[in-house]
Amino acid sequence: MKKVEAATLEEAYAKAATQLSCSITDLEYEVIQHPSKGILGFLKKPAIIVATCKRPVGQEEASPFPETNEPKTVETPEESVASEIIATVKEEAHKVQESEERDAVLDSFFDADKQEEAEEELEAESVVYDELARLIEDELKELLSHSCFAIDVVEVDVIDNTALIFIDGDDAALLIGKEGYRYNALSYMLFNWLHTKYELFIKLEIAEFLTSQQEMIRNYIKPVIESVEKNGRGKTRSLDGILVQIALEQLREAFPNKYVAIKTGKSGNKFVVINEFNNKNHA
* Domain range summary for the chain, segments of one domain joined by +: 1-54, 133-209, 212-282
Q: Which of 35, 3, 181, 185 is nearest to 105 (CA)?
A: 3
Least confident window among 57-61, 112-116, 211-215, 265-269:
57-61
- How confident is the model at residue 228, as a pLDDT? 92
pLDDT value for 178: 83
pLDDT at 39: 58
CATH number for the domain running over 212-282: 3.30.1370.180
Query: What digits encode the pLDDT tens for the residues 224-250?
Result: 999 999 999 999 998 877 788 889 999
Residues 236, 239, 243, 249: is their CA dihedral positive or negative?
positive
| pLDDT > 70 fraction of the chain, expressed in percent and rounded | 71
Mean pLDDT of 242-271: 90
The residue type at 210? L
Across residues 127-154, what is the average pLDDT?
89
Q: What is the mean pLDDT of residues 201-222?
A: 89
Does residue 51 have a pLDDT over 60? yes
The alpha carbons of the chain give a radius of gyration, in whole angstroms, of 34
End-to-end CA distance of the chain: 65
Q: Which CATH number fits domain 1-54: 1.10.3470, 3.90.1480, 3.30.30, 3.40.50?
A: 3.30.30
Predicted model pTM: 0.46
For 194-226, give one letter per residue: b (16+ CB within 10 A) or e.
beeeeebebebbbbebbeebbeebeebbeebbe
> ∠ at Cα 100 (99, 106), nearest 5°?
90
Question: In the prediction, which pLDDT does 280 show?
Answer: 45
Q: How far apart are CA 85 and CA 72, in angstroms?
A: 19
CATH architecture of 133-209: 2-Layer Sandwich (3.30)
The reported pLDDT for the residue numbered 271 is: 93
Report the alpha-carbon distance of residue 76 to residue 70 in Å, rounded. Answer: 18
Burial 5-39 (b: 16+ CB within 10 A, else e): ebeebeebbebbbeebebeeebbebeebbebeeee
